[in-house]
A and B are shown apart, each in its own frame.
Chain A
């Protein structure tokens, strides 16, 4: 089985972002970048499927030349090779889905697995848009994936618990947190990943226009919460909640 895994380069989510003073974007000076955490679950799932049943895992990342680093990090987790679609343009989800659709057509995978959302934009859009553009079924927020003959049965994380959905292949699946436990890359794998094939192409090479349907006009700081207070005892806490905040 061939599995295509789109991966995204994101600023370290554990560092609070600083906005540029003119609101035009985020100040990334001194910030390290990582593979989007949810995409690591996607890579792990794909690698486990291939380890069990054979096939190959192919990564694709879209963005600046720096995304090669992201791809190499993903290749060290067990993927075979990767695509780097190089562009300096900031693409929205609709444009990303167009690019992924073009790569899908080049590769004709049996399955696409990716993270349920990027932790920078928090959009949670591109995979579903890709499924729509390719007219393929989807299973988002996967908790468990079982592959059968030309189909997948997916348990999905939903409000209030799980549901179970059966989809025919090829299909698009997005990974949620409990899907698996992503492995750490061992040094020999990291070294090996440096030599794996990364095919670099431009949007023009793929013949996609990648027109964004949305544009970020500006970023602003959210309103800050008023400073709170430290109370000295449980008694004082209950008193404040009853008499000041009036929530008990």
Chain B
């Protein structure tokens, strides 16, 4: 009974989901090792030595210097074969969602997506846009899974020193990483923000989006969006909160002009405090809101900002 945690870095920086995944491995119980691949992974592996893993494996080899699902899944599969892990887990980031099912396919392993908890040897996960929690049994020798970051508080260093060892990298010439085209933003990431201000169809236009962004900047918050706003091209896709976008659970979620479709609510209903500002008092968002304000956000947001400034 041992687990392999697949850590994740991008351009040399460890991504936050790594620490939630380590917490999930600890919650599952048993020993665990960590695998971190890519350029800069030697230093990254070193920084993961104090989290209670047996061994932290890394590779900076050319074959895995940049992420492709093909090479990373092959490399992980080789390590699983060699060490005999019974579980492999990674954050449910876009990378985890891309490579873990491929790893499952290579290993002939059953997979559980978006694990939020453990029930003995079984796994808990949401289905149907979070309207059901399923208990899943995996009946293959190895289980692979992605872990929902918001369900596990990030692990902190627990002392000790894991061994650090190089993993044997396996490449795949048929897939080539070309480049990142990342969105430039000075705001916090949706996944890491303690406050999120989110825009829905009710913000209408670029002017409305600017108001939402101004409120976010005043609060040091991340900006989120409903699918309608992304479809309109008002905000980029990676800010989409919902069933098929980002799942978030900040301390405070302020929904501006968001009606509260099932798909959106699935992405934010685990937030600690939800505020909804919507001029339609029948909007379903009020069913999940802790505090609802029936108002046009275009009037309410400037007033909200005045009051917050007065606090400071």
Contact = CB atoms under 8 A, between A and B. Distances in A.
A212 to B, nearest CB: 8
B113 A125 contact: yes
Given A132-B104, A157-B237, A248 B136 contact: no
Given A218-B134, A231-B292, A247-B195, A213 B110 contact: yes
What secondary structure prevails in chain A residues at the interface with B?
mixed
A187 interface: no
Given A14-B261, A97-B105, A129-B104, A122 B133 contact: no
A222 B126 contact: yes
B111 interface: yes
Contacts of B178: 153, 163-166
Contact of A125 (B10, B111, B292): B111
A32 interface: no
What secondary structure prevails in chain B residues at the interface with A?
mixed
A228 interface: yes
Nearest to B303: A234
Given A162-B182, A178-B237, A219-B132, A241 B275 contact: yes
A13 B273 contact: no
B237 A143 contact: yes
Contact of A248 (B137, B252, B272, B274): B252
B296 to A, nearest CB: 11
Nearest to B93: A159
Interface stretch (A65-73, A134-142, A191-199): A134-142
B94 A159 contact: yes
Interface string B214-227: 00000100000001
A130 B69 CA distance: 13
Interface stretch (B55-63, B160-168, B169-177): B169-177
B280 interface: no
A114 interface: no
B137 A214 contact: yes
A120 interface: yes
Interface in A19-72: 19, 26, 38
Interface of A: 13-14, 16-17, 19, 26, 38, 92-94, 97, 116-117, 119-133, 136-141, 143, 153, 155-168, 171, 176-178, 212-222, 225-226, 228-231, 233-235, 237-238, 240-242, 245, 247-248
Interface stretch (B40-48, B204-212, B283-291): B283-291
Interface in B255-292: 261-263, 269, 272-275, 281, 286, 288-292
Contacts of A125: 101, 104, 111, 113
A137 B274 contact: no
Contacts of B300: 234
**9 tightest CB-CB pairs across the interface, nearest first?**
A132-B105, A213-B110, A128-B101, A129-B105, A161-B182, A164-B178, A125-B101, A214-B110, A161-B183
B111 A234 contact: no
A241 B68 CA distance: 44
Interface stretch (B18-26, B27-35, B79-87, B304-312): B304-312
